[in-house]
Structure formats: C-alpha cells, structure tokens
Amino acid sequence: MKIMRKYLYSLYFVVVYIIYVLFDYFRDGVFHLVANGVQSLFLVLFFIFFDWALNDKKKENNKAD
C-alpha cells in the first residue's frame, strides 16, 4: 500500500500541474511552467503533511483502545 501511495502523490502532482498550466494558458495566454510547478509542489506537500498528520492521530486513537 505504501508504494501505491507514493505513486498516488506523483499522479496528484501531475494532475494539479496540468490543471494550473491549462488554467493560466486560457486566462493569460502564457504557460508559467515554473510558477505552476512550484504551486503544484506546495499543494502536494501540503496535502501530504495533512494526510500524515491525520493518519498519525488515527493511529494514536487506535492504540488507546
């Protein structure tokens, strides 16, 4: 399951990156590849952090039971 989770994060990054690039292209007519890459990376890292934080809380609750 851990391997699939790593690939899932990579897929999430690619999908978010493509959405950002297409949105900027249709809005401004410019791709902004680096800026969209940084935004996508921060969004995925934010998602990974909260996923880790919430899973950690669930493990603590299960240990108490």
The residue type of 24 is: D
Q: Each residue of 6-62: pLDDT tens digit?
A: 688 889 999 999 999 999 999 999 999 999 999 999 999 999 888 888 886 666 666
| Nearest-angstrom CA–CA distance, 23 and 31 | 9
Instruction: Copy the structure tokens of residue 65.
Output: 């039971």
String of DSSP letters for the chain: -HHHHHHHHHHHHHHHHHHHHHHHHHHHS---HHHHHHHHHHHHHHHHHHHHHHHHHHHHHHHH-
The pLDDT of residue 22 is 95
The pLDDT of residue 4 is 66
The range of the structural domain enclosing residue 28 comes to 2-64
What is the tally of structural domains in the chain?
A: 1
